A and B are shown apart, each in its own frame.
Chain A
């Protein structure tokens, strides 16, 4: 592999580094790229937020 090869492959190298960096970041933060578990975030207010008795009945 020569310097010219590396120059010719610079976009692939950049792409590979982005993929690799993202993979490391995802692994370190427990980030699953394709997650079939759909989540929804909510912030509970007006309660002490310790037990379910304080929450609305969902179903």
Chain B
């Protein structure tokens, strides 16, 4: 062993240490044995499993303007659910080490941090740090199935002896590794496969195909949630303001009201109202009808006639009201009142022909015709339509978040 070189403790092959004295564990390029470089542990591990790193040892890449070199590669397996993922140890002489974690083609760039973001504040499953709430996604133990390259720590022993916590606030995560005598916080950020391929100048098809959505993958929109809410608020306010103005400007002028009795019908079987004038062009007309029906009905067909051009608008209205006493309680249905609404009536002189059909008891009805009445239903429909977009946005977000947390034991969306 001389300088940066070291001999394999199993086969004796001379190996170059890229990390020089920082390398505390490594694998032999000849016999693939994993050994510690120092005297504190003379165990030699031979892995049953084998894997090929998508980013070969020694590959250099630039992440956030820092050039990292791939020093080591490990395949880890979670001990409870037995899923596997891969980690690459990266090194930069000035920035130190970092990791790239890959699971089913989804990547996270992870680096150690000195701060303790949780700092005993918050619950076991969540904390807020720098105005961002992080939720516990997983808590696990793992084992190394395969390692290749060099490591600045005993990756096999440390992995076996630590409990890991991962708190997420996509695209970020905070990881906590706790052993009997140490605690290490790391921070991570989601990287797309394209970003990884670009960073290490490798073809995208060299990387594992992406499957599903990463637990740290953000919901990508090209606008902020706050902007959507603000804009929705602006539109809702404009519509509310407009409705207020329409209400203020509406004259609600009663252009006719009268009462009609059955006995008034003689030869003619219909009533004719006096002429009335609608001064405003293209405004609404509301006809309120009341008949004192009692367990009875009233029906009439109406013909609003423009006396200038003979154009008729024909509509009908049925009123029925029934009540009774049954099984110790009284009931009723229907009403003695009804209303008809006519849209966009041109200005002019009109009268209404009424063709009534009376039931058994009520022999009269009254009618009030109002011109230029405000329309409230349009306001509610417009508001509902405007809310469809943000509602759809939040439904989509809820579905994605539900899927994201479906593999977590700590999902805020599912309860056991």
**Could you list which residues of chain A lie within 8 angstroms of chain B, going by C-beta atoms?**
1-2, 4-9, 12-13, 15-16, 19-20, 22-24, 26-45, 47, 49-53, 55, 57-59
Given contacts A23-B382, A31-B344, A35-B343, contact A41 B312 (CB under 8 A): yes
B242 & A57 in contact (Cβ 8 Å cutoff): no
The stretch that binds A, out of B89-97, B120-128, B222-230, is B222-230
- Indicate if B391 sits at the interface (CB-CB under 8 A): no
A5 & B375 in contact (Cβ 8 Å cutoff): no
Total number of B residues with any Cβ neighbor in A under 8 Å: 60
A44 & B312 in contact (Cβ 8 Å cutoff): yes
- Indicate if B342 sits at the interface (CB-CB under 8 A): yes
List 6 additional A-B contacts (Cβ < 8 Å) besides A39-B313, A43-B310, A50-B307.
A7-B223, A23-B239, A32-B343, A33-B377, A42-B312, A55-B353
A57 & B269 in contact (Cβ 8 Å cutoff): yes
Residues of B near A33 (CB, < 8 A) are 377-378, 381
Bound form: Cα–Cα A5–B309 in Å: 53
- Choose one: B301, B343, B357, B382; the contact of A19 (CB below 8 Å): B382
How far does the Cβ of B167 sit from chain A's closest Cβ, in whole Å? Answer: 28
**Could you list which residues of chain B lie within 8 angstroms of chain A, going by C-beta atoms?**
221-224, 226-228, 230-232, 235, 238-239, 242-243, 246, 268-272, 282-285, 301, 303, 305-307, 309-317, 340-345, 351, 353, 355, 357, 372, 374-375, 377-379, 381-382, 385-386, 389
How far does the Cβ of B265 sit from chain A's closest Cβ, in whole Å? Answer: 11
Given contacts A39-B313, A44-B310, contact A5 B378 (CB under 8 A): no
In the complex, residue of chain B having the shortest beta-carbon distance to the beta carbon of A53? B268
B284 & A39 in contact (Cβ 8 Å cutoff): no
Residues of B near A52 (CB, < 8 A) are 268, 270-272, 303, 305, 351, 353
A1 & B227 in contact (Cβ 8 Å cutoff): yes
Of the A-B pairs whose beta carbons lie under 8 Å apart in the complex, a sample of 28, sorted by A's number, is A1-B226, A1-B231, A4-B222, A7-B223, A8-B221, A9-B228, A12-B228, A16-B231, A22-B382, A23-B239, A23-B242, A27-B375, A28-B282, A30-B344, A32-B341, A32-B377, A33-B377, A35-B341, A35-B343, A39-B315, A40-B314, A42-B312, A49-B309, A51-B272, A55-B353, A58-B301, A59-B355, A59-B357
State the 10 A-B residue pairs at the shortest beta-carbon distance, nearest first: A8-B223, A30-B284, A8-B222, A49-B310, A5-B227, A44-B310, A52-B272, A30-B283, A52-B353, A16-B235
B343 & A31 in contact (Cβ 8 Å cutoff): yes
Bound form: Cα–Cα A32–B235 in Å: 20
Bound form: Cα–Cα A31–B345 in Å: 9
How far does the Cβ of A52 sit from chain B's closest Cβ, in whole Å? Answer: 4
Residues of B near A36 (CB, < 8 A) are 341
Bound form: Cα–Cα A4–B242 in Å: 29
B238 & A20 in contact (Cβ 8 Å cutoff): yes
